[in-house]
Structure 1
Amino acid sequence: MLTLYSYPALFGVADNNGYGLKVYAFLKLAGVPFNHEHIFDASTAPRGQLPYIVDSGETIGDSETIIAHVTRKYRLTTDAALSVAQRDGDLLVTRLLDDLYWVMSYSRWKDDRYYPSFRDALKREHPRLTNDALDKARAFNFQRYHFQGIGRYTPDGAYARGLADLGILARLVPETGFVHGMRPATIDASIYAFIANIHYYPIETPLKACVESHTNLVRHCEEIHAAVSG
């Protein structure tokens, strides 16, 4: 059976990282059976990044590559009816979510207003985490933010990027149903993965306030959450 390796759960969400949760939600919605292993150390993962899967002895990393592999191998029809224009639009939204990821991560690890609450929540849900380990993770993330670029923004500048991303998602997600109709597609799993890691996050960041102000984003998130939980 396929095994998904990703970061641990937090605040009732199956993975506290959007990329792992995207794969988890996709597999659940597609009805592909899998085992889910939570890990903290990504050093042995492909390119040192989570998530990854092991499927019949083959190790595959990167959320998009994983989804493409599973779709092909298991002959999934999740997106089979989409037009070329819809597929192109989904790719653009996927890249937008890549941008949103950095702002979400910044709000947890970089912003001194919210990091203590995030740190304490991690320790509460995962008691084996130590302050030393979290301090090292924070320092590592500071380096990533600097080289990626988001770490060179002021907090207001960083959140402005994320709020712009959320504004586009709020205009894309319908009041009922899903992005391409009444059945969820891969892009719905992707949007859910990032919105869930904001909506179910009990720390009042600007990103959370924005999501909560859009009932369509909340509705979309909660419907998919109910479908993939348990």
Structure 2
Amino acid sequence: MNRLGKSLKVLQFAIGATAAGLVASVSMMATAAESAPAKPDLARGQAIAGQVCAACHGADGNSSGGAYPKLAGQHAEYLVKQLKDFKPQPGGKPPARNNPIMVGFASALNDQDMINVAAWFSSQTPKPGAAHDAKTVPVGQKIWRAGIADKGVPACAGCHGPTGQGIPVQYPRLSGQWSEYIVAQLQAFQQRTRNNNEPMREIAHRLSDDEIKAVADYAAGLH
């Protein structure tokens, strides 16, 4: 084979390799695009909040009382996880969070609608809360900041932050949350009727009723 023929073969190989590389790159980009969640649609989230959630949580996520949690300013990733935990699990298993009311609402939402409504509530400004029992503030503050060493209870601030802002995905914002709601959730963990966070089940089990009320009231006043 002469020099020109060899050059043509080298050029053909290079072109073929480049084309194959481009095809692979485009394929990878398409796969990534398909697997990546769509961006939140705040308008759609606001509509869902107004039509489905407002009666209990308020249209802007500031519920009117402690029977229902404030969702305004809560981490969107955390809200999505909770909505998914309210849905029945594959294989006929019960939801990780058993709440007959929320099971119905969450089951009616697809994954994208969960992302949309969570983003809407997360973008809203939470109304501040307040501690109401001055006598228990020192106890609640101690538990929040230092835990209870002899009971193996870690400081709440370690996961939920010194001012209760929480950590997205894993730990919710508790700053300004209704103390009644926090008490109810700690009791649910304690009684093992809420089963979507094993560390919290263990921690709540080690707290007395008075300690639960004290730390919940303290968290309500954080800002």
TM-score relative to the length of structure 2 = 0.30
The higher relative CO (CA closer than 8 Å, separation ≥ 6) is in 1
Bigger radius of gyration, 1 or 2? 2
Q: Which has the higher strand share?
A: 1
TM-score relative to the length of structure 1 = 0.29
